[in-house]
Structure 1
Amino acid sequence: MIEFRTLADDHPDLGHSPLLRGALLTLQFAGEHGSIGLTKSKAFKRVFVHWAVEHFDWPGKSPEEMFRFQKVINEYEFPPLELLHFLLISLRLGRHYKGEFRTTKRGAELADSPGRLFAELIPYFVLQIDHASYARFDDRPVGTWDIWMNVINMEAAHGTTEAALFETFYGEPHDWHTAGWREMGAFSSCVLRPLAWAGLISEIREGDHGSRVCHVFKTPLWRSAIRLETDVQLAPICIQ
Structure 2
Amino acid sequence: MILHEVLLSAKLARHFKGTLRLTDLARKLKSEPARLWMLLTTHLLFVIDHSPYTRSEEPLLGNWDIFLNVINIEAQVAVTEERLCSVLYGGEEDDIRRRDFKLTASLYVHVLRPLCWAGLLNEHRTGSGFSRPDFYTKTPLWPVALSLETDRHLQPVTHH
Query: Relative contact order: is structure 1 or structure 2 higher (C-alpha 8 Å, sep ≥ 6)?
Result: 1
What letter matches 1:186 in structure 2?
S
Moved segments of 4+, more than 6 Å: none
Give the alignment partner of residue 126 of structure 2, picking from 195, 206, 228: 206
The answer on 1:128 being equivalent to 2:44 is: no
The answer on 1:146 being equivalent to 2:62 is: no
What letter matches 1:231 in structure 2?
D
CA distance in 1, matches of 2:78, 2:99: 26
Is the 2:6–2:48 contact (alpha carbons within 8 Å) kept by the matching residues of 1?
A: no
Summarize the Cα distance change of 1:84–1:210 in structure 2 as closer, same or farther, 3 Å threshold.
closer
CA distance in 2, matches of 1:237, 1:105: 43
Give the alignment partner of residue 229 of structure 1, picking from 125, 128, 149: 149
Unaligned runs of 5+ in 2: none
CA distance in 2, matches of 1:95, 1:141: 30
1:171 alignment counterpart: 90
Unaligned runs of 5+ in 1: 1-81
Q: What is the Cα-based RMSD across aligned positions, in Å? A: 1.8
State the identity %.
39
Deviation (angstroms), 1:236: 4.6
Give the alignment partner of residue 105 of structure 1, picking from 14, 24, 32: 24
Deviation (angstroms), 1:197: 1.2
Give the alignment partner of residue 155 of structure 1, picking from 66, 74, 97: 74
Higher Cα Rg: structure 1 or 2? Answer: 1
Give the alignment partner of residue 195 of structure 1, picking from 109, 112, 115: 115
For residues 116-165 of structure 1, the C-alpha deviation after alignment (integer angstroms, 9 at most, x for no partner) is: 10111102211222221223433322111101110110111111111111
CA distance in 2, matches of 1:120, 1:103: 15
The answer on 1:83 being equivalent to 2:2 is: yes
For residues 3-37 of structure 1, the C-alpha deviation after alignment (integer angstroms, 9 at most, x for no partner) is: xxxxxxxxxxxxxxxxxxxxxxxxxxxxxxxxxxx
| Residues matched between the structures, number | 157
Deviation (angstroms), 1:219: 0.6
